Amino acid sequence: MPTLAHALLVALKEHGAGEIFGIPGDFVLALFKVIEESNILPNFALSHEPAVGFAADASCAIMAASALRS
């Protein structure tokens, strides 16, 4: 039986999410465990809040640039 976390990951992927960026912490450890074990979306866990934003922004820019070239 799928959990809420699993359903959320499936919905994110179906709506076009390509990867997940975040900071694992006390309140989201269970979610990060599902993210890692399910392999539905690639997970990039960082420990610095601005780095998460920079990484997500860079990924978006790279993906948009590659989509324009294809």
- List b or e across 36-55, with b for residues whose CB sees 16 or more CB atoms inside 10 angstroms: eeeebeebeebeeeeebeeb
Domain-by-domain residue ranges, the chain? Answer: 18-69
Residue 70 has pLDDT above 50, yes or no: no
Q: Is the pTM of this model over 0.85?
A: no
CA 43 to chain centre: 5
9-63 confidence digits (pLDDT tens): 999 999 988 999 999 999 999 999 999 999 999 999 999 999 999 999 999 898 8
Reported confidence tier of residue 64, pLDDT bands at 50, 70, 90: confident
CA-wise closest residue to 24 among 5, 57, 54, 49: 49
Residue 65: its pLDDT value, please?
A: 67
What span, in angstroms and rounded, lies between the C-alpha atoms of 48 and 38? 24
